[in-house]
Structure 1
Amino acid sequence: MCEMCRFFAQPLNIIDYFFAFMAAIDFACKRVPIEEIIKCSFALNKTDYLVFKTLMSAKVEIPIQDIQDSIGKDRTTIQRSIKNLLSKELIHRRQINLDSGGYMFYYCVKKKEEIKKQIYTNFENWQGKVLHELNNW
Protein backbone atom coordinates (compact mmCIF):
# COMPACT_ATOMS: atom_id res chain seq x y z
CA MET A 1 0.00 0.00 0.00
CA CYS A 2 1.42 3.41 -0.95
CA GLU A 3 1.97 6.15 1.64
CA MET A 4 -0.99 8.22 0.44
CA CYS A 5 -3.32 5.20 0.62
CA ARG A 6 -2.21 4.55 4.18
CA PHE A 7 -2.64 8.27 4.77
CA PHE A 8 -6.32 8.14 3.72
CA ALA A 9 -6.95 4.78 5.38
CA GLN A 10 -6.00 6.10 8.83
CA PRO A 11 -7.59 9.55 9.22
CA LEU A 12 -7.58 9.32 13.02
CA ASN A 13 -3.79 9.14 13.04
CA ILE A 14 -3.18 11.94 10.57
CA ILE A 15 -1.97 14.49 13.15
CA ASP A 16 0.84 12.24 14.27
CA TYR A 17 1.43 11.19 10.67
CA PHE A 18 2.03 14.79 9.58
CA PHE A 19 4.49 15.75 12.28
CA ALA A 20 6.06 12.62 13.69
CA PHE A 21 6.63 10.36 10.71
CA MET A 22 6.82 12.42 7.54
CA ALA A 23 8.80 15.37 6.28
CA ALA A 24 6.89 15.02 3.01
CA ILE A 25 4.02 13.01 1.59
CA ASP A 26 3.95 11.27 -1.78
CA PHE A 27 0.68 11.88 -3.59
CA ALA A 28 0.40 10.16 -6.96
CA CYS A 29 3.22 11.75 -8.99
CA LYS A 30 4.13 14.57 -6.62
CA ARG A 31 5.99 14.73 -3.31
CA VAL A 32 4.51 17.31 -0.95
CA PRO A 33 6.85 18.62 1.78
CA ILE A 34 5.30 19.26 5.20
CA GLU A 35 6.21 22.94 4.76
CA GLU A 36 3.83 23.12 1.78
CA ILE A 37 1.07 21.37 3.71
CA ILE A 38 1.34 23.91 6.53
CA LYS A 39 1.56 26.85 4.13
CA CYS A 40 -1.43 25.62 2.13
CA SER A 41 -3.50 24.75 5.18
CA PHE A 42 -3.27 28.31 6.52
CA ALA A 43 -2.72 30.21 3.22
CA LEU A 44 0.72 31.37 4.33
CA ASN A 45 3.22 32.96 1.99
CA LYS A 46 6.95 32.21 2.12
CA THR A 47 7.73 35.00 4.61
CA ASP A 48 4.79 34.10 6.85
CA TYR A 49 6.14 30.56 6.99
CA LEU A 50 9.69 31.74 7.75
CA VAL A 51 8.39 33.83 10.67
CA PHE A 52 6.24 30.91 11.85
CA LYS A 53 9.20 28.51 11.61
CA THR A 54 11.43 30.95 13.52
CA LEU A 55 8.86 31.19 16.30
CA MET A 56 8.44 27.39 16.32
CA SER A 57 12.16 26.95 16.91
CA ALA A 58 12.37 29.62 19.63
CA LYS A 59 12.30 28.26 23.16
CA VAL A 60 10.93 31.51 24.62
CA GLU A 61 8.88 34.49 23.51
CA ILE A 62 10.89 36.74 21.20
CA PRO A 63 10.59 40.32 19.92
CA ILE A 64 10.36 41.29 16.25
CA GLN A 65 14.04 42.31 16.28
CA ASP A 66 15.07 38.70 16.98
CA ILE A 67 12.88 37.47 14.12
CA GLN A 68 14.37 40.14 11.86
CA ASP A 69 17.91 39.08 12.79
CA SER A 70 17.03 35.44 12.15
CA ILE A 71 15.43 35.70 8.71
CA GLY A 72 16.95 38.90 7.36
CA LYS A 73 13.73 40.63 6.32
CA ASP A 74 12.82 44.24 7.08
CA ARG A 75 10.66 45.13 10.08
CA THR A 76 7.60 46.12 8.01
CA THR A 77 7.58 42.78 6.18
CA ILE A 78 7.87 40.88 9.46
CA GLN A 79 5.09 42.95 11.05
CA ARG A 80 2.83 42.14 8.08
CA SER A 81 3.54 38.42 8.54
CA ILE A 82 3.02 38.70 12.31
CA LYS A 83 -0.36 40.35 11.67
CA ASN A 84 -1.33 37.52 9.32
CA LEU A 85 -0.20 34.81 11.77
CA LEU A 86 -2.10 36.52 14.60
CA SER A 87 -5.26 36.71 12.49
CA LYS A 88 -5.01 32.97 11.82
CA GLU A 89 -4.50 32.37 15.56
CA LEU A 90 -1.20 30.57 15.02
CA ILE A 91 0.79 32.77 17.39
CA HIS A 92 0.37 34.73 20.63
CA ARG A 93 1.48 38.28 21.37
CA ARG A 94 2.36 39.63 24.81
CA GLN A 95 2.97 43.29 25.62
CA ILE A 96 5.71 44.26 28.07
CA ASN A 97 5.54 47.81 29.43
CA LEU A 98 8.98 49.40 29.73
CA ASP A 99 10.04 51.33 32.84
CA SER A 100 11.22 54.17 30.62
CA GLY A 101 7.81 54.38 28.95
CA GLY A 102 6.56 52.65 25.87
CA TYR A 103 6.23 48.94 25.38
CA MET A 104 7.55 45.95 23.45
CA PHE A 105 5.67 43.03 21.97
CA TYR A 106 6.94 39.49 22.37
CA TYR A 107 5.70 36.62 20.23
CA CYS A 108 5.46 32.87 20.54
CA VAL A 109 3.76 30.14 18.59
CA LYS A 110 0.65 28.41 19.91
CA LYS A 111 1.03 24.92 21.30
CA LYS A 112 1.98 22.51 18.56
CA GLU A 113 -0.95 20.21 19.38
CA GLU A 114 -3.42 23.07 18.76
CA ILE A 115 -1.83 23.78 15.39
CA LYS A 116 -1.93 20.09 14.48
CA LYS A 117 -5.65 20.03 15.29
CA GLN A 118 -6.22 23.06 13.05
CA ILE A 119 -4.35 21.36 10.19
CA TYR A 120 -6.32 18.17 10.76
CA THR A 121 -9.62 20.09 10.61
CA ASN A 122 -8.51 21.91 7.46
CA PHE A 123 -7.47 18.62 5.92
CA GLU A 124 -10.77 16.95 6.79
CA ASN A 125 -12.63 19.83 5.11
CA TRP A 126 -10.45 19.50 2.02
CA GLN A 127 -10.85 15.72 1.99
CA GLY A 128 -14.64 16.11 2.14
CA LYS A 129 -14.57 18.47 -0.84
CA VAL A 130 -12.37 16.07 -2.82
CA LEU A 131 -14.68 13.15 -2.07
CA HIS A 132 -17.72 15.23 -3.03
CA GLU A 133 -16.13 16.18 -6.36
CA LEU A 134 -15.11 12.58 -7.05
CA ASN A 135 -18.64 11.37 -6.33
CA ASN A 136 -20.06 13.96 -8.73
CA TRP A 137 -17.54 13.16 -11.46
Structure 2
Amino acid sequence: MTDGERDLEALMLVDEPEFERVLECVFGVQPHESRTYTALSKAPGSTTAELATDLDRDRSSVSRSLGTLEEKALVERTQRLLDGGGYVYQYTALPLPETKSRMHRAVDEWSEQVHERIEEFGE
Protein backbone atom coordinates (compact mmCIF):
# COMPACT_ATOMS: atom_id res chain seq x y z
CA MET A 1 0.00 0.00 0.00
CA THR A 2 1.40 3.40 -0.96
CA ASP A 3 1.41 6.47 1.29
CA GLY A 4 -1.26 8.02 -0.92
CA GLU A 5 -3.49 4.99 -0.50
CA ARG A 6 -2.98 5.10 3.28
CA ASP A 7 -3.87 8.80 3.26
CA LEU A 8 -7.07 8.18 1.32
CA GLU A 9 -7.92 5.28 3.58
CA ALA A 10 -7.46 7.50 6.66
CA LEU A 11 -9.54 10.21 5.03
CA MET A 12 -12.46 7.80 4.74
CA LEU A 13 -12.60 7.65 8.55
CA VAL A 14 -13.35 11.37 8.82
CA ASP A 15 -17.04 12.28 8.61
CA GLU A 16 -16.58 15.80 7.25
CA PRO A 17 -13.00 16.35 6.09
CA GLU A 18 -11.88 19.90 5.43
CA PHE A 19 -10.76 20.90 1.95
CA GLU A 20 -7.12 21.25 3.00
CA ARG A 21 -7.08 17.73 4.48
CA VAL A 22 -8.50 16.27 1.26
CA LEU A 23 -5.91 18.23 -0.73
CA GLU A 24 -3.16 16.77 1.47
CA CYS A 25 -4.39 13.20 1.02
CA VAL A 26 -5.09 13.35 -2.69
CA PHE A 27 -1.88 15.12 -3.71
CA GLY A 28 0.41 13.86 -0.95
CA VAL A 29 1.28 17.31 0.39
CA GLN A 30 1.93 18.43 3.94
CA PRO A 31 -0.42 20.66 5.98
CA HIS A 32 1.86 23.69 5.57
CA GLU A 33 1.74 23.16 1.80
CA SER A 34 -2.04 22.95 1.70
CA ARG A 35 -2.22 26.17 3.77
CA THR A 36 0.13 27.78 1.25
CA TYR A 37 -2.14 26.69 -1.62
CA THR A 38 -5.19 28.11 0.19
CA ALA A 39 -3.47 31.43 0.91
CA LEU A 40 -2.28 31.69 -2.67
CA SER A 41 -5.72 30.94 -4.08
CA LYS A 42 -6.98 33.96 -2.11
CA ALA A 43 -4.09 36.18 -3.25
CA PRO A 44 -3.02 35.22 -6.80
CA GLY A 45 0.20 36.73 -8.06
CA SER A 46 1.80 36.78 -4.61
CA THR A 47 5.53 36.65 -4.06
CA THR A 48 7.29 34.40 -1.59
CA ALA A 49 7.82 37.36 0.75
CA GLU A 50 4.13 38.31 0.64
CA LEU A 51 3.05 34.74 1.35
CA ALA A 52 5.57 34.45 4.18
CA THR A 53 4.00 37.50 5.80
CA ASP A 54 0.44 36.24 5.24
CA LEU A 55 1.27 32.77 6.62
CA ASP A 56 3.57 34.00 9.40
CA ARG A 57 6.33 31.68 8.19
CA ASP A 58 9.89 32.28 7.06
CA ARG A 59 10.54 32.79 3.36
CA SER A 60 12.65 29.65 2.94
CA SER A 61 9.82 27.45 4.30
CA VAL A 62 7.30 29.12 2.02
CA SER A 63 9.69 28.75 -0.91
CA ARG A 64 9.98 24.99 -0.26
CA SER A 65 6.19 24.70 -0.02
CA LEU A 66 5.80 26.54 -3.31
CA GLY A 67 8.36 24.25 -4.93
CA THR A 68 6.42 21.18 -3.86
CA LEU A 69 3.13 22.67 -5.03
CA GLU A 70 4.72 23.59 -8.35
CA GLU A 71 5.97 20.00 -8.77
CA LYS A 72 2.43 18.77 -8.16
CA ALA A 73 1.16 21.25 -10.79
CA LEU A 74 -0.98 23.04 -8.18
CA VAL A 75 0.92 26.32 -8.50
CA GLU A 76 2.33 28.25 -11.46
CA ARG A 77 5.34 30.55 -11.20
CA THR A 78 5.86 33.58 -13.44
CA GLN A 79 8.65 36.12 -13.53
CA ARG A 80 7.89 39.85 -13.24
CA LEU A 81 10.50 42.45 -14.12
CA LEU A 82 10.99 45.19 -11.57
CA ASP A 83 11.13 48.87 -12.60
CA GLY A 84 14.53 49.40 -10.98
CA GLY A 85 15.99 46.28 -12.58
CA GLY A 86 15.91 42.66 -11.56
CA TYR A 87 12.87 40.48 -11.22
CA VAL A 88 10.63 38.77 -8.73
CA TYR A 89 8.72 35.50 -8.99
CA GLN A 90 4.97 35.60 -8.58
CA TYR A 91 2.85 32.54 -7.86
CA THR A 92 -0.69 31.68 -8.77
CA ALA A 93 -2.64 28.66 -7.52
CA LEU A 94 -4.29 26.33 -9.98
CA PRO A 95 -7.89 27.58 -10.19
CA LEU A 96 -10.11 25.89 -7.64
CA PRO A 97 -12.45 24.27 -10.22
CA GLU A 98 -9.45 22.58 -11.88
CA THR A 99 -8.04 21.49 -8.53
CA LYS A 100 -11.40 20.05 -7.52
CA SER A 101 -11.69 18.25 -10.85
CA ARG A 102 -8.25 16.67 -10.36
CA MET A 103 -9.24 15.67 -6.83
CA HIS A 104 -12.44 14.02 -8.09
CA ARG A 105 -10.52 12.07 -10.74
CA ALA A 106 -7.94 10.85 -8.21
CA VAL A 107 -10.59 9.72 -5.73
CA ASP A 108 -12.60 8.05 -8.53
CA GLU A 109 -9.50 6.15 -9.69
CA TRP A 110 -8.77 5.02 -6.14
CA SER A 111 -12.39 4.00 -5.62
CA GLU A 112 -12.34 1.98 -8.85
CA GLN A 113 -9.26 0.11 -7.63
CA VAL A 114 -10.99 -0.65 -4.33
CA HIS A 115 -14.08 -1.93 -6.16
CA GLU A 116 -11.87 -4.21 -8.27
CA ARG A 117 -10.21 -5.57 -5.12
CA ILE A 118 -13.61 -6.22 -3.55
CA GLU A 119 -14.64 -8.26 -6.57
CA GLU A 120 -11.43 -10.32 -6.32
CA PHE A 121 -12.19 -11.43 -2.73
CA GLY A 122 -13.07 -15.08 -2.38
CA GLU A 123 -11.75 -16.09 -5.78
Question: Into which bin does the TM-score normalised by the smaller protein fall?
Answer: 0.7 to 0.9
Instruction: Identify the residue that residue 63 of structure 2 maps to in structure 1.
Output: 79
CA contact (8 A) 2:36 2:65 kept: yes
Instruction: Identify the residue that residue 16 of structure 1 maps to in structure 2.
Output: none
SS at match of 1:99: coil
% identity of equivalent residues: 23
Q: 1:65 aligns with which of 49, 52, 74?
A: 49
Instruction: Identify the residue that residue 88 of structure 1 maps to in structure 2.
Output: 72
The runs of at least 4 consecutive aligned structure 1 residues that moved more than 3 Å come to none
Query: Which structure has more strand as a fraction of its residues?
Result: 1
Give the length in aligned residue pairs: 110
How does the TM-score come out when normalised to structure 2? 0.80
Shift of the alpha carbon at 1:32? 4.2
For structure 1, list consecutive stretches of 5 or more residues without a partner in the other structure.
Answer: 1-25
- Paired with 2:56 and 2:14, the residues of 1 have a C-alpha distance of 31
- Paired with 2:114 and 2:86, the residues of 1 have a C-alpha distance of 50
Q: 1:54 aligns with which of 36, 39, 42?
A: 39
For structure 2, list consecutive stretches of 5 or more residues without a partner in the other structure.
Answer: 1-10
How does the TM-score come out when normalised to structure 1? 0.73
Shift of the alpha carbon at 1:40? 0.6
Can you list the C-alpha shifts for 1:17-73, whole angstroms capped at 9, x where unaligned?
A: xxxxxxxxx95x632413221111111101101100101122x41111111011111
- Paired with 1:52 and 1:128, the residues of 2 have a C-alpha distance of 28
Shift of the alpha carbon at 1:90? 0.8
Residue 124 in structure 1 maps to residue 108 in structure 2 = yes
Q: 1:39 aligns with which of 24, 27, 44?
A: 24
Alignment RMSD: 1.8
SS at match of 2:15: strand
State the AA in 1 paired with 2:37. Answer: F
